[in-house]
Amino acid sequence: MTVQSTTEETTSARPDVALRRGVRLRDYGIVIALVAIVVALSLSTDTFFSKANAINVLDQCAVVGLLAAGATVCILAGVFDLTASASLALSSIIGVQVVRMTSVTLGFATSVLVGAAIGWITGMIVVRSGVNSFIATLATSIIYRGLAVILTSGAIVYPLATQTDAFSVFTTGSIFGLTWATIVFAVVVVIIGVTVAFTTFGRRLYAVGGNIEAARLSGIRVGSVQVSAYVISGICSALAGLILCSRAGSAQSSMATGIELTAIAAAVIGGTSILGGEGAIWRGVVGAFLLTLIGNGFNLLGWNTTYQQVVQGALILFAVTVDRLLRKRNR
């Protein structure tokens, strides 16, 4: 009897051990990859560890990192958001137009509110229509991009000449020489990360993404959780758009086309499962840093950036394959 009980306990414990190993691999594999790239670049270039390059990398990562945080929240909830770049453009254009009529502060605040509203509309369309989120957000992204073209008539929108200095606030240095874009990126990511990891909303987010039917039966308002995820993604898109506008000094309907795919790639590379319910905000951000470092490395080493897309595609394929194998082994 004792031998049989011991055997049963050992057998039942094996899946737990395998699960913990899988979680560790998914959690820290991306960190190991990031450290490896940092070490490789520091040994192969003399400028990688310079203060100027570090500030540049952080500044470059701000836009993709914000979008990756928003994409991660949506994927955790079991949905995709392909409207990120279109909502970025639309909210930025409306923000710049309000800037011209009022002030930079009010225009920026309007842009963020518009981003949240776009996220809410997208979420309601996905939830109410019952259409697969990939298709629904693809369609709505085309609509948003079309509205951006209509609002601008295809032209570039600029702030007034007297507003130029205030409009470029995200490009100026702040603490330790970091740009305000980097500071905003860090603050927003920390807020979202803490919310997802330590609040009731975060637990509901994981529950909905892990098993939507079980979450519904347990009393969770599934639709509200998913709409909230889209609202967060919309706010992140608006903030990313403001950073791009601040850098360029203008907004246009074609800005950031296709960047939502890079954001989703960063989330997946970071270890967020495309099936939902597994992942973390910090992993998506690390994935964004990894992609940024790859681009930075190509520039520092003088390599042909054409091959950069090949490397990024291979990383995405590898990340998805690893996720599938880990899920299969842990069943």
Per-residue pLDDT tens over the stretch 133-192: 999 999 999 999 999 999 999 899 999 999 999 999 998 877 778 999 999 999 999 999
pLDDT (tens digit per residue) in 248-306: 999 999 999 989 999 999 998 888 888 888 889 999 999 999 999 988 988 888 888 77
**What are the residues facing 251 on neighbouring strands?**
157
Place of tokens 């100027």: 52
Q: How many whole angstroms separate alpha carbon 79 and alpha carbon 133?
A: 6
Nearest CA to 256 among 135, 92, 112, 58?
Answer: 92
Average of pLDDT values for 92-100? 97
For residue 15, is it within any domain? no
Position 18 in a domain = no
Q: How far is residue 279's CA from residue 262's CA, in Å, rounded to a whole number?
A: 17
Residue 6, domain member (yes or no): no
Q: In this predicted structure, what is the pLDDT of residue 327? A: 63
CATH number (domain holding residue 301)? 1.10.3470
Task: Provide the 3-class DSSP secondary structure of residue 179.
Answer: strand
**Per-residue b/e over 144-160, b at no fewer than 16 CB within 10 Å?**
bbebbbebbeeeebbbe
Q: By the 8 A CB rule, do 319 and 33 touch?
A: no
Q: Within 13 Å, how many C-alpha atoms sit on residue 210's CB side? A: 14
**CA dist., res. 43 & res. 267, Å (int):** 28
Average pLDDT score, the chain:
88
What residue numbers bound the domain in which 66 lies? 28-330
The CA distance from 96 to 151, in Å, is 11
Whole-number Å distance between alpha carbons of 131 and 218: 23
Which of 85, 80, 93 minimizes the C-alpha distance to 123? Answer: 80
The number of CA neighbours under 13 Å toward the Cβ of 196 is 30
77 and 275 in contact (C-beta within 8 Å)? no
For the cut 50, the answer to whether the pLDDT of residue 1 exceeds it is no
User: 3-state class of 181 per DSSP?
Assistant: helix
What's the distance, Cα to Cα, between the start and end of the chain in Å? Answer: 28
Residue 272's identity, in one-letter code, is T
**What confidence score (pLDDT) does residue 306 get?**
79
16 assigned to some structural domain: no
Q: Has residue 181 been placed in a domain?
A: yes
- Check pLDDT > 50 for residue 5: no
Q: Is the pLDDT of residue 319 over 80?
A: no
**b/e burial code for range 285-315 (CB count within 10 A of at least 16 → b):** bbbbbbbbbbbbbbebeeeeeeebeeebeeb
The tokens for 72 are 């991660």
Q: How many angstroms separate the CA atoms of 261 and 253, rounded?
A: 18
State how far the Cα of 158 lies from the Cα of 120, in Å rounded to an integer.
Answer: 27
Residue 57 falls inside a structural domain: yes
Q: Which residue has the tokens 């949506």?
A: 74
Rg (CA), the chain: 21
Which pLDDT score is estimated for 26?
56
Confidence of residue 235 (pLDDT cuts 50, 70, 90): very high
12 in any annotated domain? no
Mean per-residue pLDDT for 200-205? 96
Distance in angstroms (rounded) separating the CA atoms of residues 216 and 212: 6
Would residue 4 count as lying in a domain?
no
Check pLDDT > 50 for residue 6. no
Count of domains observed in the chain? 1
